[in-house]
């Protein structure tokens, strides 16, 4: 979410019509009826894909900041956009698990390791890394500014902005 927020602010500064979807504006509203089972995670990403498509169809640069643990769900979101002739750019924000756990401001990984949170991605639920994302950000080697620069460079080079 940190990279998505910074990217959104950068694009808005460039006067680009941009909207960011993340857990705060999706999980507590549209998807508040969903939990974290595999079925609910599938439905969460399906709904996000549909909403992102609507925003993109309205010419917004739509940023989605979600843990999408299953390749099949990401593939469905991609096909949904491609089927609507809407570009889809997958950004794999990647860091070793120990780095992510060390950065965990809410203490969720600690709770998951203690068994207090079930079906937690990377601990008690799987994560299937993308095979060929358009952009691969390594947050253990790239800082926030470099991460945003990498994404903006890709968007510029591919005439999305």
Gap between the terminal Cα atoms of the chain: 21
DSSP lists the bridge partners of residue 91 as 135
Contact in structure between 62 and 103 (CB atoms under 8 Å): no
Contact in structure between 20 and 61 (CB atoms under 8 Å): no
Residue closest to 4 by CA, chosen among 75, 62, 49: 62
Active site residue 75: no
Rounded CA-CA distance 12/133 in Å is: 24
Among candidate residues 56, 68, 75, 124, the one labeled active-site is: 68
Burial class (CB in 10 A: 0-12, 13-18, 19+), 49: buried
| Total residue length of the chain | 161
Residues involved in catalysis: 68
């Amino acid at each position: 979410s940190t990279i998505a927020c910074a990217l959104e602010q950068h694009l808005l500064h460039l006067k680009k019509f941009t909207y960011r979807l993340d857990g705060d504006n999706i999980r507590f509203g549209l998807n508040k009826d969903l939990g974290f089972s595999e079925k609910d995670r599938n439905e969460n990403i399906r709904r996000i894909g549909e909403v992102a498509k609507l925003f993109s169809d309205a010419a917004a640069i739509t940023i989605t900041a979600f843990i999408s643990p299953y390749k099949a769900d990401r593939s469905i979101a991609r096909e949904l956009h491609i089927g609507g002739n809407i570009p889809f750019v997958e950004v794999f924000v990647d860091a070793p698990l120990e780095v992510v756990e060390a950065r965990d401001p809410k203490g969720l990984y600690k709770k998951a390791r203690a068994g207090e949170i079930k079906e937690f991605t990377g601990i008690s639920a799987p994560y299937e890394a993308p095979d060929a994302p358009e952009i691969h950000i390594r947050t253990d080697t790239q800082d926030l500014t470099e991460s945003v620069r990498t994404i903006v460079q890709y968007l510029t080079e591919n005439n999305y902005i």
